[in-house]
Structure 1
Amino acid sequence: MPPPFAGAAALSDAHWQSLRYFNLYRLVVAALLLVAAYLHPASFELVPATDRPLYLWTALFYCASALGSILVLNYWPYRFNLQLSANVVLDILVITLLMQASGGLRGGLGAMLLVSLAAAGLVGQGRLVVFYAALATLAVLFQQTLLALGGDLDLSLFFQAGLLSVGFFTSAISARLLARRVVANEMLARNRGIALANQVYVSQRVIEEMQDGVLVVTPQGEVRLHNPQAEALLGLGPRLSSRLEDYSRELDIHFRRWRLGVGGEEGVLVFQVPHSGKQVLARLLETPSSEGDTLVLLEDMERLREGARQMKLAALGRLTASIAHEIRNPLSAINHAGELLRETAVPDSGDTRLVQIVLDNAQRLERIVRDVLEIGRRDRCHPEPVAFPAALEGYLEEFIDKEGLAPGVVQLEPGPSLIWPFDRTHLHQVLWNLLGNALRHSQRQPGSVRLSLRSGNAGQVELHIRDDGPGVPAAIREQVFEPFFTTHNKGTGLGLYIARELCEANGARLELLDDPEAGAHFRITGRIQDGSGQK
């Protein structure tokens, strides 16, 4: 949703407001002319009227028309150019009649047209102002011609009329140029306002969507702005105060020491949130604002550590995959040589036992290399609709047959039928690793290894794998998914790591749950596919 900005509407309001001021000016002038018409000539005569009735009725009409223009504008704010043109034409007509009633150009009322033309040019932003000037020129020349035909033939008045007409056009053109400049400045200000509003809107959305918390703090320690992530990290609830000390007292103390430069405080602080016990990294940055505000960025230390751990594991995975490629060729040669030695060795001799040790360890290395290379295949993921629980039944049958298990050791509990998009090769590898791990630590009794499928809310699906073994000690629960970590003397330490990587490649998540009623309890969480083929 774009930010609201009253661009065109604001410009139109400015037009109408200028027209209101113009009408108020006309009303004031009309009232003054009407007052002047009623003053006694002997006491104080502002205008020397030669035709007093014409002057009086014209001033009265001017006052009424100005008042009517204001009422029309208030109750019918439409057709801006029409209303402006009507007002200017009325001004030209009225002032021309007043000039006729006050002796023509001798009365000095013709100069009032200069003000009306200039105001019309500015209010109308230069539109039709030259036409208004031409109309005023014709009116003045017509009025002067009438006086000449009536016997008042003064050639100097025609010269004054010409000068006044030049003034009309000069005023009109100047107002037009000034209006164009005003329009250009208004458009520039409007565009900059829109750009600024959009920038503020985008910045606000970016701040709201950031994973980090953001606080904007004034030099006095008042929190001017914070985003929802800051509320979540600091455990904020409804608060009446905006003081930083109410957000975090430890952060407030560090902020004040940092502002004062006491003790060489740096703009970095790691503190613990009292309510949640969560560790938060705060970075204080100065802003170039005139108010001297400080930007405080809050980051969850747990998320930072997890990100660093993932980067380390990814780098380790690439390194081990590269090493595995280099090991595979000499390892094949060792295997081949060991097979030849076993064929030529004397049965039941010490050489046979040594050769078998070589072959066993070579096969273990081969499994490690194969598992490491499997990590690199997570990028070649091709999910396809897999029908559950039918697929599980097929995998379990293959696993039971391969391991030679008694019936009932591995059991699949009844569950819903659904479609789960997953790469079949990856699913086979994940199940094989998890089932092998569960079987290795189980008691191998009926029901020792149990699988259950559940459909959760919002289209989620969960696959649970439990065993009746001793479980995973709490001290090593965080390490079980790390590469090369194993508690079995013949294990490679890559099974669970590879299983989790393959699950993530398919948009699923593998977790170790804390289940007091079972040994080890692993859960794979993903999303089912609906009827339209969407996940």
Structure 2
Amino acid sequence: MGDSVLSGVDPARLQSLRFFNLFRLIIAGIFLVAGRELNLGSEHPTIFLVTAICYLGAVLALGFPDAARRMGFDRLVTLQVVIDVFMLTAFMWSSGGFRSGMPVLMMIVLAGAGLVAEGRMVLFLAALTTLAVLTENGWRFIADGTPGDFLQVGITCIAFFGIALVARLLALRAKNNASLAERRGKELVKQQAVNERIIRDMRDGVIVLGPDGFVRQANPQAAGLLGLQSMDGLALADIDSAFGDCRAQCGGADGRLMRLGPARRLLRCRVMEADSEAATGGDVLIYLTDFEDIQRQMQQLKLAALGRLTASMAHEIRNPLSAVTQAAELLQEEKRADMQGRLARIINDNAQRIERMIRDVLALGRRQQAQPEALPLARFVTEVVDAQGLRDGAERAIFSVEIDPELTLAIDRAHLHQILDNLLGNARRYCSAQPGSVRIRADVGADGCVRLHVQDDGPGLDKNTRAHLFEPFFTTHAKGTGLGLYIARELADANDATLEPVSDSTGAHFVLTGRSCP
């Protein structure tokens, strides 16, 4: 029961009360042992001695922790300060009044009360002390007929309230700061636990490398990817010699693919310098990503996409094949020459449609055989435009080529030819057919990459079309296969390039971005 009484008390208040009781014990001992030598109790020696004995007994009786358990912490504090006030007033009366120095001790007692007591109790104790001092000084004036030091006493009584309030405010501030520190400490512990859990469970390996080349910390994934049980305290160069120059080789956001550790797994290694070397002591973070796992996932996605493509292609081929079969049957029965010619055209058109789908799918299968070379962009684009068979002046004027003759692009020649065939064919189909209605231009971005633009002045791409633009077999043209843009993007990706639509006010605008060649 007693322990439960003190369980809700602030530990700082308990500690302050212990020091306060120690101060009381020292003062009571000095009064009892050396009071006469300090010229105390000169007017009433017997009363001073009895008061000193009673004060020492009260301090001893109320100074043990058992007293707080029996009486309650706040009641004990109030009782102790009240006893201090009355005892010090008795010392002051028996020692000559205000000039004995007891008001200074009363100030110290009120300061201690401000640190230990709570609420308005501090003001009550200050008022009680003021009343006791004023009463003693008034009694001395009435009994002895000597003028009292009322001005100094009044100033001292004002100081009682000031010291009590300042001490209380300081105690509240210290309590709030301690509470804030404790709360932030708990939050920091929780955040550290969350961070450790994240680092421990993340799929990537994380290594903290000290400036001396030794591993300070590493999560279990890093050790597992390198084929080790633990990495703590090991020198990184001893794990694998390829780590020796990792800062120079693996810097940047992309890092470098390397086979590392006893397991010889293909890992993407990225090195990140600490944001503040003063805060981290020059440590370096090394991230390891299992690239073999990424390759397996990519292969599974490609196989799934190939399955969907095959199913969609079978469905798309069935329609023209049915038309070819039906036209062939009618051709056998039809005797009129004009109807035979019409049926032959149906057979020819659908056969060409099937041939285009098969050609596109075969091109998709050859995307892994990309052989990039430095292509002079202006000359190559002009050849592709001319190869469209648009030799007529009016038709040729539709295309405007604005490319610096010095620009080169690192890409497979056949792949770029097929990408441009598709983009130019679409632009020609939807443009206004006015001179310069299809613009082909190129520029160099801030990152040094070459961007090839193909833009027409047609109706452009609506929101729904843009959302499905690169999906297989999606087309807005009656005779289209829906594989052109899908194949074009796949071929661009095979050459480490990107093909993206650009949102412009009018017309369709596509940008092919790739690496430049010196």
| 1:212-248 deviation per Cα after TM superposition (whole angstroms, max 9, x unaligned) | 1222233233433332222322333367x52343882
| 1:310-362 deviation per Cα after TM superposition (whole angstroms, max 9, x unaligned) | 555566677778777766654443343244346669xxxxxxxx9xx99xx99
CA distance in 2, matches of 1:237, 1:130: 66
**Are 1:236 and 2:223 matched, yes or no?**
no
Counting only pairs closer than 5 Å after superposition, residues 484-523 of structure 1 correspond to structure 2 as none
Asked if 2 retains the 8 angstrom alpha-carbon contact of 1:213 and 1:228, the reply is yes
Aligned to 2:174: 182
How big is the shift at 1:129? 0.9
Of the candidates 135, 138, 144, which is equivalent to residue 152 of structure 1? 144
Q: Taking structure 1 as reference, are residues 264 and 283 closer, same or farther at Cα in structure 2, changes over 3 Å only?
A: closer
**Are 1:82 and 2:85 matched, yes or no?**
no
Aligned to 1:199: 191
Q: Taking structure 1 as reference, are residues 91 and 273 closer, same or farther at Cα in structure 2, changes over 3 Å only?
A: same
Query: Structure 1 counterpart of 2:54, which letter?
Result: F
Q: Which moved more, 1:113-122 or 1:72-81?
A: 72-81
How big is the shift at 1:134? 1.1
Asked if 2 retains the 8 angstrom alpha-carbon contact of 1:244 and 1:252, the reply is no
**Are 1:99 and 2:115 matched, yes or no?**
no
Aligned to 2:11: 13
Asked if 1 retains the 8 angstrom alpha-carbon contact of 2:89 and 2:136, the reply is yes
How big is the shift at 1:109? 0.8
Query: Structure 2 counterpart of 1:284, which letter?
Result: V
Asked if 1 retains the 8 angstrom alpha-carbon contact of 2:214 and 2:234, the reply is yes
Q: Taking structure 1 as reference, are residues 233 and 103 closer, same or farther at Cα in structure 2, changes over 3 Å only?
A: same
| 1:41-98 deviation per Cα after TM superposition (whole angstroms, max 9, x unaligned) | 5xx4353532223223333333343344442269849933233223222221221221
**Are 1:134 and 2:119 matched, yes or no?**
no
How big is the shift at 1:173? 2.0
TM-score by length of 2: 0.55
Q: Taking structure 1 as reference, are residues 343 and 146 closer, same or farther at Cα in structure 2, changes over 3 Å only?
A: farther
Aligned to 1:512: none
Unpaired stretches in structure 1, ≥5 consecutive residues: 1-7, 346-353, 369-535
| 1:455-477 deviation per Cα after TM superposition (whole angstroms, max 9, x unaligned) | xxxxxxxxxxxxxxxxxxxxxxx
Q: Taking structure 1 as reference, are residues 10 and 285 closer, same or farther at Cα in structure 2, changes over 3 Å only?
A: farther
Aligned to 2:202: 210
How big is the shift at 1:168? 0.9
Identity, in percent, stands at 38
Of the candidates 327, 336, 352, which is equivalent to residue 337 of structure 1? 327
CA distance in 1, matches of 2:9, 2:186: 13
Asked if 2 retains the 8 angstrom alpha-carbon contact of 1:20 and 1:73, the reply is no
CA distance in 2, matches of 1:201, 1:10: 28
**Are 1:291 and 2:280 matched, yes or no?**
yes
TM-score by length of 1: 0.53
Q: Taking structure 1 as reference, are residues 204 and 9 closer, same or farther at Cα in structure 2, changes over 3 Å only?
A: farther
Q: Taking structure 1 as reference, are residues 95 and 338 closer, same or farther at Cα in structure 2, changes over 3 Å only?
A: farther
Secondary structure of 2:211's match? coil
Of the candidates 154, 157, 163, which is equivalent to residue 165 of structure 1? 157
Asked if 2 retains the 8 angstrom alpha-carbon contact of 1:281 and 1:300, the reply is yes
Of the candidates 54, 57, 75, which is equivalent to residue 50 of structure 2? 57
**Are 1:266 and 2:251 matched, yes or no?**
yes
**Are 1:303 and 2:306 matched, yes or no?**
no
Q: Taking structure 1 as reference, are residues 116 and 75 closer, same or farther at Cα in structure 2, changes over 3 Å only?
A: closer
Counting only pairs closer than 5 Å after superposition, residues 443-522 of structure 1 correspond to structure 2 as none
How big is the shift at 1:169? 0.9
**Are 1:281 and 2:273 matched, yes or no?**
no
How big is the shift at 1:166? 0.9
Asked if 2 retains the 8 angstrom alpha-carbon contact of 1:117 and 1:172, the reply is yes
Aligned to 1:445: none
